[in-house]
Amino acid sequence: MDFSNESRNMQIADYLQTLRTEQNLTLEELSHLSQVPIVHLTSIEEGRFKRFDEFYLKMYLKRYTQALDVDLEQLYAYASSQPLPDEAQDKKKKKEAERKMTQTQANISATPKAPANKRPKRKRPTIKTANIARLEAKNKISRMIIGFVFVVLLIIIVFFFVNLIRDLPLNEVDEPTTPPPITNPHDVTSPIEEDTEPETEPETEPEPVPEDLTSAIFEGRSGTIQTFNITTQLDELVLRLVHSGDNWIEITTEVSGTFRDTFEHTFEDLDGRIEVLIGAIHNVDAVFVNDVELPVDFDAPSGPAMFVFYVEEE
């Protein structure tokens, strides 16, 4: 299916939106059923297909149609069978609208402008002597208040420094020290030192290495999808990807975005299957699960890829 024609894309978007409204589904309900974020569903129904990579666009369309119980091939067949809008007719309508707009602007320019209403000049009010005296009294009161506040602050600061200086000599007095007792090494009354063996600490068992708790087996690769079987004795799964450049990562609906250097995510609810979408497999240097490095096939074609983990708890 070719998504380069914007008119064709809008026909597909309108058809999908009609199917969703006929089934009385909101975008939130459809997002829960299809496991596709709402922002992506909105872009699809608005016909903005160019913001997606073709790999992700086909995957989102497949999940969209599966949630509505519609065959994806049926959608492609419908889009191919619909006639495209007549471009010549659209150009003719556009020129006619431009001509009408030009004529309207010309009519507006030819209309004489009405003379502006001149407002009578207003006389400036004169300031009386009583008002001047009132303003000077207010200014005098303001200056007195500011001076009073300044004096109070100055007294507080001086009081604080006086107390601080008064406490300094007390802190500098050295505490009396008592000399250590002197013992006679030849005194027979001194206790005899007994030979005591040093207590040995009990040996602790070494902590198990990650390979003893988690194991990973590479099942194979089908196109851009690589499958692994993960067996773990832990209650969680820590996924860590080491990058050599920018990369786009999306894990189901839990997290998505652009990451650099090292990406780490913890799965606490192990439901048996985990999907990880990677925008650039050629920018991935290593993949670890619970500090166990996975045998990833880095000879896969560069570009988007998907890791599928089947997790089993022991």
Residue 77: CB atoms within 10 Å: 11
pLDDT recorded at residue 88: 45
Arithmetic mean of pLDDT, 52-67: 88
Show me where the domains of the chain are located. 6-81, 211-313
Which one has a higher pLDDT value, 228 or 166?
Answer: 228
How wide is the angle at C-alpha 235 spanned by C-alphas 229 and 237, nearest 5°? 50
Percentage of the chain with pLDDT > 70? 68
Least confidently predicted of 149-153, 187-191, 205-209: 187-191
**Contact at 8 Å (CB) between 241 and 233?**
no
User: How high is the pLDDT of residue 127?
Assistant: 47
**Over the chain, what is the mean pLDDT?**
77
Residue 270 has pLDDT above 50, yes or no: yes
- What is the rounded average pLDDT of the residues 289-295? 88
Report, as an integer, the average pLDDT of 273-282.
Answer: 86
**Residue-wise pLDDT tens digits, 205-260:** 666 555 568 888 999 898 889 999 888 888 888 889 898 888 888 886 567 778 77
Residue 151 has pLDDT above 70, yes or no: yes
- The number of C-alpha atoms within 13 Å of 243 and in the hemisphere containing its C-beta is 17
pLDDT at residue 137 tops 60 = yes
125 versus 47: the higher-pLDDT residue is 47
Lowest mean pLDDT among 110-124, 133-147, 289-303: 110-124
| Max mean pLDDT range (38-47, 75-84, 95-104) | 38-47
pTM of the predicted model as reported, rounded to 2 decimal places: 0.35
Lowest mean per-residue pLDDT among 59-73, 132-146, 176-190, 280-294 = 176-190
Instruction: Pick the more confident residue, 181 or 147.
Output: 147
By CB atoms closer than 10 A (0-12, 13-18, 19+), residue 309 is buried
Sheet of 284-289, strands arranged across: 262-267, 237-243, 284-289, 292-293
pLDDT at 179 over 80: no
105-131 per-position pLDDT tens digit: 666 555 555 454 555 555 554 545 556
The dihedrals phi and psi of 208, each to the nearest 5 degrees, come to -65, 140
pLDDT of residue 144: 92
Please check the confidence at residue 21 and state whether its pLDDT lies above 50.
yes
Domain at 6-81, CATH from 1.10.10.10, 3.40.30.10, 3.40.50.2300, 1.10.260.40: 1.10.260.40
pLDDT on residue 78: 76
Mean pLDDT across 54-71: 88
pLDDT for 215: 87
